[in-house]
């Protein structure tokens, strides 16, 4: 990251999760303005890994990525120029509640993508996290590193939602 990013303002979905929290910490350390967008609650993980002075620089917005109007307001009202989309329900949660899992993981991503499309003059970038789950179980592949162009073979609904978002 460099000085050119300072003019950017990023919104991080799923910022209270593991990858999201470390992403927020790194952006703040680089001097990049950050807005978090996650379900209402305490940003406990952020509080554990960030000094209070650094955390004070973060704008914490409670919100549900499946709420299109609220997400759009968060992007527009906060002058967001880039979205780092990390919000998703993981395998155990999707397995326990498949309908909610599909809604959050696919409809939520559709809301993010549509908001960016509608405000393309303002939002110039998107980072989306994939998952090894799109490739299915390791047992179906030869030993060694998995090539990025390996065939997609998701074995869980979570993996299917990630593939759907990427297609």
Residues 122 and 143 in one domain: no
What was the pLDDT predicted at 10?
97
Residues 113 and 144 in one domain: no
Q: Coil, strand, or helix at residue 35?
A: strand
Residues 113 and 160 in one domain: no
The answer to whether 84 and 12 have CB atoms below 8 angstroms apart is: yes
Angstrom distance (rounded) from CA 95 to CA 42: 25
In a domain, 14, yes or no: yes
In a domain, 1, yes or no: no
| Confidence at 6, pLDDT banded by 50, 70, 90 | low
Looking at residues 149-158, what average pLDDT do you find? 89
The candidate with the shortest Cα–Cα distance to 164, out of 101, 116, 120, is 101
The overall average pLDDT reported for the chain is: 91
| Residues paired with 84 in a beta bridge | 12, 127
The residue annotated as part of the active site, out of 37, 128, 141, 158, is 158
Residues 104 and 161 in one domain: no
If one counts every other C-beta atom within 10 angstroms of the C-beta of residue 25, the result is 20
Would you call 158 a catalytic residue per the annotation?
A: yes
Sequence-distant (6+) residues with CB within 8 A of 52 are none
Question: What radius of gyration, in Å, describes the C-alpha atoms of the chain?
Answer: 17
pLDDT tens per residue, range 118-128: 999 999 999 99
Range of the domain at 151: 134-167
Q: Which residue has the higher pLDDT, 59 or 147?
A: 59
Residues 58 and 140 in one domain: no
The answer to whether 36 and 58 have CB atoms below 8 angstroms apart is: yes
């Amino acid at each position: 990251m460099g000085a050119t990013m300072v003019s950017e303002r990023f919104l991080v979905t799923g910022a209270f999760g593991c990858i999201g929290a470390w992403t927020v910490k790194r952006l703040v350390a680089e001097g990049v303005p950050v807005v978090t967008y996650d379900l209402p609650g305490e940003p406990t993980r952020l509080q554990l890994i960030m000094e209070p002075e650094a955390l004070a620089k973060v704008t914490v917005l409670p919100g549900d990525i499946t709420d299109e109007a609220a997400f759009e307001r968060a992007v527009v009202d906060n002058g967001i120029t880039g979205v780092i989309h990390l919000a998703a329900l993981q395998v155990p949660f999707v397995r326990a509640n498949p309908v909610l899992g599909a809604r959050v993981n696919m409809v939520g991503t559709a809301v993010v993508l549509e908001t960016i499309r509608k405000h393309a003059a303002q939002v110039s970038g998107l980072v989306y996290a994939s998952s090894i789950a799109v490739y299915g179980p390791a047992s179906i592949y030869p030993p060694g590193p998995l090539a990025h162009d390996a065939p997609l073979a998701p074995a869980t609904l979570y993996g299917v939602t990630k593939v759907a978002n990427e297609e």
